[in-house]
Amino acid sequence: MDAKVTKKKLGLKERYAAMTRGLHWETTYQPMDKVFPFDKYEGIVIHDWDKWEDPFRLTMDAYWKYQGEKEKKLYAVIEAFAQNHGELGVTDARYINALKLFIQGVTPLEYYAHRGFAHLARQFGGDGLRLACLYQSADELRHQQTETHAMSVYNKYFHGMHESNHWFDNVWYLSVPKSFFEDAFSGGPFEFLTAVSFSFEYVLTNLLFVPFMSGAAHNGDMSTVTFGFSAQSDESRHMTLGIECIKFMLEQDPANVPIVQRWIDKWFWRGYRLLTLVAMMQDYMLPKRVMSWKEAWEMYAEANGGALFADLARYGIRLPKGWADACEGKHHISHQAWSTFYQYSQAAAFHTWLPSEDEIAWLSQKYPDSFDQHYRSRFEHWRALHKDGGRWYNNFLPMLCQTCQVPMLFTEPGDATQIAFRDTTYHGMKYHFCSDHCCEIFEHEPRKYAQAWLPVHQIYQGSCYPEDINPASPGDSPVREVLRYYGVDGGKDNGEFASSPDRKHFATWSGRTAGSTTMPTEPAK
């Protein structure tokens, strides 16, 4: 009911209190623990929810106003970009494959984050934290939508974007981000916060955002850059939430420290493994490079992250367990991942190619301790096959890590000649892992990871064939049938870039050729 306004408008501070904390009440018909059943079972002890410091003082109406203004600007740019055929202004058509990886593998995570934070916004017993999660939930939904809109112009002209949601749910490499987030939001609310807000948004976010958004700027993609700007203020809010939530848990009770430490160990490693895809994109998929993965790792992880953990030491928190191995991996993972996608490109949903001579020289310079010594000869072998008109594909499915679901492509820390194998036995069955850390994550909660939906195993179980295929005998080319189920159009959506319609169309429409010149222009036999 409308009351007659007698008083002056509330001041900013009062208004904030009334519109946020003022909306909370203690339930009387039901005990609070029954109304909020999720916020204790993980073992995190909260004595006083009022100690939660709101990292940003934002009311809902102000939130809608800011977001609405950003949205107007963003859509004006997207519209202008489409009108002016901005998609033809990018460096070359290879760049668009970085966007495919983004729309396939990152955009669906925004939606998962939206769902995860919506759950938290309902389930935390403290009103301040619930409200922060509500904003973030709305942000993430907005990001999923605006990314989709920013990239939709590319989908009109290029392949490899049209079934991205279906691919996210089925295709092997996309199970890496998918399982990461499903692992996070099937944990409890505090673990989700540690996983997503702290480990991902706070510790690792720059390693995701810089390659894609600066990559877009360097490669003439104003549509994606504008999305990046539009998301930036949200991201800084998310980062603040990440650090606040960690400090809040650590300050509330000493019993929380070992639980949080274990989550940091786990989620740092899960996030790091997920970023393998970004490392590869950064070093191999941007025609105009921003910085190498190794440089980005040194700046954002080693320098910034190192300072962060030095600061958290006063709470009894140390560096994540996998830290040293991740730092050692900076010399290797992008090369190992691109080699993998190069040879399995016919089973993916974007194009791959060999780096040009100039790019090889760049890699050699940026990776003085690893590229020439360990990786150059395999690329040169493949290049020699190209010159003979061949294009090598690996036609057999790889073994996957049970935890991170990445193919077992990582080498032993300190020995780039040897694939790293770890295994354990659980209820009479063997489980295999890429690293000590993925093995340890499994062993801590084996019931959770024993049910992992590994795409390769699922193909063999018959879960990824069209209805007209008998999974017991899928015929002469199971991979072809799987691609049919995925809705991936072989050669158009994937395979060698040099012989792709994307390359041809981009050249015709823009009047500029793209890609390196040593590639065969006809499809391989």
The contact set with other proteins (CB under 8 A) reads 37-38, 41-43, 188, 336, 339-340, 343-344, 372-378, 381, 392, 394, 396-400, 407-409, 411, 416-419, 421, 423, 426-427, 429-432, 443-448, 450-454, 456-457, 460-462, 471-472
CB of 209 to other proteins, least distance (A): 27
Q: How buried is 289 (Cβ within 10 angstroms: 0-12 exposed, 13-18 middle, 19+ buried)?
A: buried
CB of 496 to other proteins, least distance (A): 16
Q: How buried is 295 (Cβ within 10 angstroms: 0-12 exposed, 13-18 middle, 19+ buried)?
A: middle
User: Which residue pairs, CB below 8 angstroms and at least 24 apart, start in 385-390?
Assistant: 386/354, 386/518, 386/519, 386/520, 387/518, 389/520, 389/522, 389/524, 390/520, 390/524, 390/525
CB of 30 to other proteins, least distance (A): 16
Q: Which is nearer to other proteins, 88 or 385 (CB)?
A: 385
CB of 343 to other proteins, least distance (A): 6
DSSP class per residue in 208-253: HHIIIIIHHHHTT-HHHHHHHHHHHHHHHHHHHHHHHHHHHHHHH-
Q: Which is nearer to other proteins, 186 or 513 (CB)?
A: 186
Q: What are phi and psi of 519, to 5 degrees?
A: -85, 150
Q: Which is nearer to other proteins, 164 or 339 (CB)?
A: 339
- Alpha-carbon gap, residue 5 to 111, rounded angstroms: 41
Q: What CA–CA distances, in Å, run from 68 to 73, 111, 142, 197, 252? A: 9, 19, 10, 24, 36
CB of 408 to other proteins, least distance (A): 4
Closest CA to 60 of 7, 11, 10, 23: 23
Q: Taking each helix axis from N to C terminus, what angle separates 333-343 and 376-387, rounded to the nearest 10 degrees?
A: 30
Tokens 């203690």 belong to residue: 26
CB of 300 to other proteins, least distance (A): 27
CB of 149 to other proteins, least distance (A): 35
Closest CA to 156 of 102, 98, 220, 87: 87
Beta pairing partners, 432: 423
CB of 461 to other proteins, least distance (A): 5
Q: Which is nearer to other proteins, 44 or 241 (CB)?
A: 44
Q: Which is nearer to other proteins, 372 or 489 (CB)?
A: 372
Q: Which is nearer to other proteins, 327 or 409 (CB)?
A: 409
- Alpha-carbon gap, residue 417 to 210, rounded angstroms: 31
Q: What CA–CA distances, in Å, run from 346 to 50, 308, 447? A: 55, 42, 34
Q: Which is nearer to other proteins, 43 or 475 (CB)?
A: 43
Q: Which is nearer to other proteins, 111 or 344 (CB)?
A: 344
Torsion sign (Cα): 55, 57, 59, 61 = negative
Instruction: Say if CB 286 and CB 110 are below 8 A apart.
Output: no
- Alpha-carbon gap, residue 7 to 370, rounded angstroms: 70
Q: Which is nearer to other proteins, 42 or 302 (CB)?
A: 42
CB of 407 to other proteins, least distance (A): 4
Q: Which is nearer to other proteins, 66 or 460 (CB)?
A: 460
Instruction: Say if CB 502 and CB 496 are below 8 A apart.
Output: no
CB of 31 to other proteins, least distance (A): 15
Q: How buried is 69 (Cβ within 10 angstroms: 0-12 exposed, 13-18 middle, 19+ buried)?
A: exposed
The terminus-to-terminus CA distance of the chain in angstroms comes to 75
Instruction: Say if CB 220 and CB 303 are below 8 A apart.
Output: no
Q: Which is nearer to other proteins, 135 or 172 (CB)?
A: 172
CB of 339 to other proteins, least distance (A): 6
CB of 255 to other proteins, least distance (A): 14
CB of 150 to other proteins, least distance (A): 32
- Alpha-carbon gap, residue 271 to 199, rounded angstroms: 7
Q: Which is nearer to other proteins, 288 or 480 (CB)?
A: 480
Q: Which is nearer to other proteins, 60 or 257 (CB)?
A: 257
